[in-house]
């Protein structure tokens, strides 16, 4: 805990430098603005609200639960043309097609997942699984991700995520496919299933757990309060989850996100996303090396206004963190599971 060392990340086949003593250094750098506490429940100018008009002129329905619609500014489109042939191996291009969707979790803009009911979170999980199953028929990769908070690039204060389906396996997917395949071949057990069993036994990086799931600050975490959400059972894709596992997932997600908000008593920013076995043509292949999991990457380090910057050494050499995963897990684990906004009432 007091001496710098490097830790290996078997999921990404890279290393992270752990320098726990650096968190003690004085900070005179940039301070972030805390997120606003007075978000309007409904705003006609917020394009994600029920009844609001979006940029393309379409009017949202008066939805009361989840609401899914095509992204008005998609990064991927299904009919993009083929790029021209390369005249040199250093100048290669490949086709990139797909669809991008936006999914609103709830009609109210002043709610986030940790403040939603278990039934409302369960509805989100069901919608995620349905989208992966639907888009996965045509596309090999379906990426669900949520950018929460302006600090993580969220442009609309409304509970929502995005779903991008692509005609190719993105870099992170290809990397995790390779490392998990190698681990199963060498050790005879899916990597993240074995890892979950080890963390459940060791407990030093455990944040929350229940009968079906556990959340840990991974041994190789890069971001200060990064977590990994893992099922205890071998599950390849979201749509493979049993009914009871979806209920327990809603519960453990809310418990984790309440702890995140309670850490600095602020609506905690993060980027999160689900990784599961590829789809499309891979549905006919053996993907037993895959284990479903979700990554949470929050940027805050010392307080609601001091973030971790991934610059300099991190960009030019390798990732570096300023407190140990064990310290981060202990701090998160010790936090109450009643949201600070509800305690004050």
User: What per-residue confidence (pLDDT) applies to 345?
Assistant: 56
User: What per-residue confidence (pLDDT) applies to 24?
Assistant: 63
Residue recorded with tokens 């968190």: 23
- Enumerate the known binding-site residues for Fe cation: 176, 275, 293, 295
Give catalytic status of residue 160 as yes or no.
yes
Integer angstrom CA distances of residue 162 from 70, 150, 193, 223, 338 = 10, 15, 27, 22, 28
pLDDT tens for 145-163 read: 999 987 777 878 999 999 9
Contact yes or no for 248/212 (Cβ under 8 A) = yes
Minimal CA–CA distance to 252: which of 216, 214, 292?
214
Q: What is the average pLDDT across 267-272? A: 95
User: What per-residue confidence (pLDDT) applies to 309?
Assistant: 87
User: What per-residue confidence (pLDDT) applies to 93?
Assistant: 94
User: What per-residue confidence (pLDDT) applies to 156?
Assistant: 84
Contacts of 11 (CB under 8 A, 6+ apart): 175, 176, 179, 180, 191, 192, 220
DSSP 300: B
Contacts of 104 (CB under 8 A, 6+ apart): 48, 63, 66, 67, 68, 158, 159, 160
% of the chain residues with pLDDT over 90: 84
CA distance 213 to 120: 19
Per-residue pLDDT for 35 more than 80?
no
User: What per-residue confidence (pLDDT) applies to 121?
Assistant: 98
Cα 22 versus chain centre, distance: 26
User: What per-residue confidence (pLDDT) applies to 344?
Assistant: 62
User: What per-residue confidence (pLDDT) applies to 306?
Assistant: 85
Q: What is the average pLDDT across 216-232? A: 97
User: What does the angle CA 168 – CA 170 – CA 172 come to, to the nearest 5 degrees?
Assistant: 150
Better-predicted residue by pLDDT, 25 or 80:
80
Residue recorded with tokens 């997932």: 249
Contacts of 133 (CB under 8 A, 6+ apart): 239
Per-residue pLDDT for 136 more than 80?
yes
User: What per-residue confidence (pLDDT) applies to 304?
Assistant: 84
E strands, 167-269, where? 206-209, 213-216, 227-231
Better-predicted residue by pLDDT, 151 or 95:
95
DSSP 130: H
Per-residue pLDDT for 22 more than 90?
no
Per-residue pLDDT band for 28 (boundaries 50, 70, 90) equals low
Q: Which of 39-48, 92-101, 301-310 has the weakest average pLDDT?
A: 301-310
User: What per-residue confidence (pLDDT) applies to 305?
Assistant: 80
- Enumerate the known binding-site residues for UDP-alpha-D-glucose: 22-25, 55, 71-72, 147, 153-155, 162, 308-309, 313-314, 320
Q: Environment class of residue 169 by beta-carbon count within 10 Å: exposed (0-12), middle (13-18) or buried (19+)?
A: middle
Domains of the chain: 41-79+94-336 (3.30.428.10)
Q: Which of 133-147, 159-173, 202-216, 291-305 has the weakest average pLDDT?
A: 291-305
Active-site choice (106, 158, 160, 339): 160
C-beta atoms surrounding 217 within 10 Å:
29
């Amino acid at each position: 805990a007091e001496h710098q060392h490097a830790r290996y990340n078997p999921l990404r086949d890279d290393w992270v430098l752990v320098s726990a003593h650096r968190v003690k250094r004085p900070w005179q750098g940039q301070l972030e603005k805390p997120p606003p506490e007075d978000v309007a429940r409904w705003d006609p100018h917020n394009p994600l609200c029920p009844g609001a008009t979006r940029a393309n002129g379409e009017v949202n329905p008066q939805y009361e639960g989840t609401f899914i619609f095509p992204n008005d500014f998609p990064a991927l489109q299904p009919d993009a043309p083929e790029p021209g042939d390369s005249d040199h191996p250093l100048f290669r291009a490949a086709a990139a097609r797909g669809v991008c969707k936006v999914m609103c979790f709830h009609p109210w803009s002043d709610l986030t997942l940790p403040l939603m009911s278990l039934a409302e979170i369960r509805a989100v999980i069901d919608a995620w699984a349905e989208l992966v199953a639907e888009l996965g028929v045509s596309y090999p990769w379906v990426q669900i991700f949520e950018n929460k908070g302006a600090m993580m690039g969220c442009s609309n204060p409304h509970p929502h995520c995005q779903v991008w389906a692509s005609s190719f396996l993105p870099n992170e997917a290809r990397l995790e496919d390779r490392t998990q395949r190698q681990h199963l071949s060498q050790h005879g057990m899916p990597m993240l299933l074995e890892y979950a069993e080890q963390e459940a036994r060791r407990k030093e990086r455990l944040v929350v757990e229940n009968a079906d799931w556990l959340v840990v600050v991974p041994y190789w975490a890069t971001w200060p309060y990064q977590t990994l959400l893992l099922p205890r059972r071998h599950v390849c894709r979201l749509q493979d989850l049993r009914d009871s596992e979806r209920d327990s997932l809603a519960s453990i997600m809310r418990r984790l996100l309440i702890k995140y908000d309670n850490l600095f008593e602020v609506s905690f920013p993060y980027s999160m996303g689900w990784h599961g076995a590829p789809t499309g043509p891979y549905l006919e292949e053996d993907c037993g090396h895959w284990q479903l999991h979700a990554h949470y990457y929050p940027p805050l380090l010392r307080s609601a206004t001091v973030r971790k910057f991934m610059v300099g050494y991190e960009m030019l050499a390798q990732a570096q963190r300023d407190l140990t995963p064990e310290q981060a897990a202990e701090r998160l684990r010790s936090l109450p599971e009643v949201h600070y906004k509800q305690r004050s009432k």
